[in-house]
């Protein structure tokens, strides 16, 4: 038997098992051997109990803000790169490791009563995230928000225009939606980012391969807009969180903003910033027709999936499938 120094051993090991080069982080406290070498200064409690997984442009910032108003729900610290989102399980941050992730959370003072969480809207439709999230947080609860995927696509397009994305500025929404495979790469990229997250059935099925359905809560994004306190009521029940907070007292419809906002005093509200709840022209009829057709089969499959797992069918989906939308 030949002994070699650890670094060389590592190199040799990954030459022999290249498929293991990509890490899959797991909770160190779930394994006796890991706890033994885990520093005594560290705690596995510094990890979220639930995740808001997106998708983008469905009201995730509003939900994040409302959740953070709860006295025992604690959000992550802001990221210098991606603001309120940590975006650990997708992209390059995953390779920074568990310590990097844990530093986004305070050490809870009371592990049973406090609920750490993070929301990264990019998690929902990323191929790798369900497996990675489950690897580290198998007991975590998940919250996703579904709005009509056609509206989501249009909101994303408007978001890109507001960020001065040259492709979104140079092409109409309809041109982007109907870009063919021979179109310039940037046009296809933005088309995919408009359309793909809205294939909800595909992404949800993927999450449900890893997580049991009782750990996933689906928010109707239209209800989050029109009656956020009822959504917050249901979420608190889903999380089994205490104390129970009546959000009717914390949120108030702001006619100027056109959305519910946080109550600051009798005559003052704190609404989300200008980039949330933007004003833009209504979607053209031809884009609406295109998207209705595009998502039709997926929406039927989505409603079957939701029925199978005994989730409530969102109002917008019922309307869409009965041809009322
Ligand atoms: P629009 O700006 O297109 O209307 P996200 O935070 O996931 O990026 O979602 C942004 C969307 O949240 C907004 O899209 C808006 O419709 C929706 N939303 C839901 N509740 C809101 C609230 N209380 N205030 C502002 N926007 C809200």
Coil, strand or helix: which one is 146? strand
Residue 201: cis peptide before it, omega within 30 degrees of 0: no
Order of strands, sheet of 141-146, starting from the edge strand that comes earlier in the sequence: 73-75, 115-119, 50-54, 141-146, 216-220
- Position 1 scores a pLDDT of 64
The answer to whether the annotation marks 42 as part of a ligand binding site is no
The answer to whether the annotation marks 277 as part of a ligand binding site is yes
Which of 40-49, 181-190, 208-217, 231-240 is least confident?
40-49
Residue 324 has pLDDT above 80, yes or no: no
Coil, strand or helix: which one is 131? helix
Closest ligand 1 atom, residue 221 Cα? 19
Ligand 1 proximal residues by C-beta, below 6 Å? 56-62, 121, 155, 158, 224-225, 259-260, 272, 276-278
- The catalytically annotated residue of 49, 57, 141, 151 is 57
**Residues pairing with 141 in the sheet:** 50
Coil, strand or helix: which one is 28? helix
Return the higher-pLDDT residue of 200 and 33: 200
Q: Return d(Cα 24, Cα 186) in angstroms, integer.
A: 31
- Position 82 scores a pLDDT of 80
Q: Return d(Cα 198, Cα 53) in angstroms, integer.
A: 14
Name the residue with the closest Cα to ligand 1, atom 15: 277
Coil, strand or helix: which one is 120? coil
Which residue do the tokens 């009829």 mark?
A: 285
Residue 49 known to be catalytic: no
Instruction: State the pLDDT confidence band at 323, using cuts at 50, 70 and 90.
Output: confident
Cα-based distances in Å from 196 to 122, 126, 201, 238: 12, 10, 11, 28
102 neighbors 47 (Cβ within 8 angstroms): yes
Whether the complex's predicted ipTM is more than 0.90 is answered with: yes
Residue 234 has pLDDT above 70, yes or no: yes
Order of strands, sheet of 259-265, starting from the edge strand that comes earlier in the sequence: 251-254, 259-265, 268-270
Closest ligand 1 atom, residue 278 Cα? 2
pLDDT cut 70: percent of the chain above it: 99
Residue 277 has pLDDT above 90, yes or no: yes
Q: Return d(Cα 218, Cα 316) in angstroms, integer.
A: 13
Q: Output the pTM of the full model.
A: 0.95
Q: Return d(Cα 201, Cα 300) in angstroms, integer.
A: 9
Which of 247-256, 273-282, 316-325 is least confident?
316-325
Condensed to tens digits (0 to 9), the pLDDT of residues 22-77 reads 999 999 888 888 888 888 778 888 999 999 999 999 999 999 999 999 999 999 99
Instruction: State the pLDDT confidence band at 224, using cuts at 50, 70 and 90.
Output: very high
Residue 243: cis peptide before it, omega within 30 degrees of 0: yes
């Amino acid at each position: 038997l030949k002994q070699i120094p650890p670094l060389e051993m590592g190199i040799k090991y990954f030459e022999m098992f290249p498929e293991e080069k990509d890490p899959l982080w797991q909770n160190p406290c779930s394994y006796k051997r890991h706890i033994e070498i885990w520093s005594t200064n560290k705690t596995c409690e510094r990890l979220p109990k639930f995740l808001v997984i997106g998708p983008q442009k469905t009201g995730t910032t509003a939900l994040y803000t409302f959740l953070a108003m709860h006295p025992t729900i604690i959000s992550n610290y802001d990221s210098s790169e991606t603001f309120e989102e940590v975006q650990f399980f997708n992209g390059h941050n995953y390779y920074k490791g568990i310590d990097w992730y844990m530093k986004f959370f305070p050490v809870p003072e009371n592990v049973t009563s406090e609920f750490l969480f993070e929301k990264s809207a990019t998690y929902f439709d990323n191929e790798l995230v369900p497996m990675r999230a489950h690897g580290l947080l198998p007991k975590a609860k998940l919250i996703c928000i579904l709005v009509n995927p056609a509206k989501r696509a249009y909101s994303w397009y408007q978001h890109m225009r507001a960020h001065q994305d040259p492709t979104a500025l140079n092409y109409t929404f309809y041109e982007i939606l109907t870009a063919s495979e021979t179109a310039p790469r940037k046009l296809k990229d933005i088309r995919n980012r408009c359309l793909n997250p809205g294939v909800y059935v595909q992404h949800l099925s993927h999450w449900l391969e890893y997580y049991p359905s009782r750990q996933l809560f689906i928010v109707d994004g239209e209800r989050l807009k029109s009656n956020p306190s009822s959504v917050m009521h249901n979420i608190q029940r889903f999380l089994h969180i205490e104390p129970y907070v009546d959000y009717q007292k914390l949120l108030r419809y702001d006619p100027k903003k056109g959305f519910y906002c946080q109550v600051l005093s009798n005559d003052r509200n704190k609404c989300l910033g200008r980039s949330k709840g933007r004003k833009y022209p209504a979607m053209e009829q031809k884009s609406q027709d295109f998207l209705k057709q595009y998502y039709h089969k997926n929406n039927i499959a989505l409603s079957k999936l939701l029925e199978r797992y005994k989730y409530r069918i969102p109002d917008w989906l019922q309307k869409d499938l009965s041809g009322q939308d």
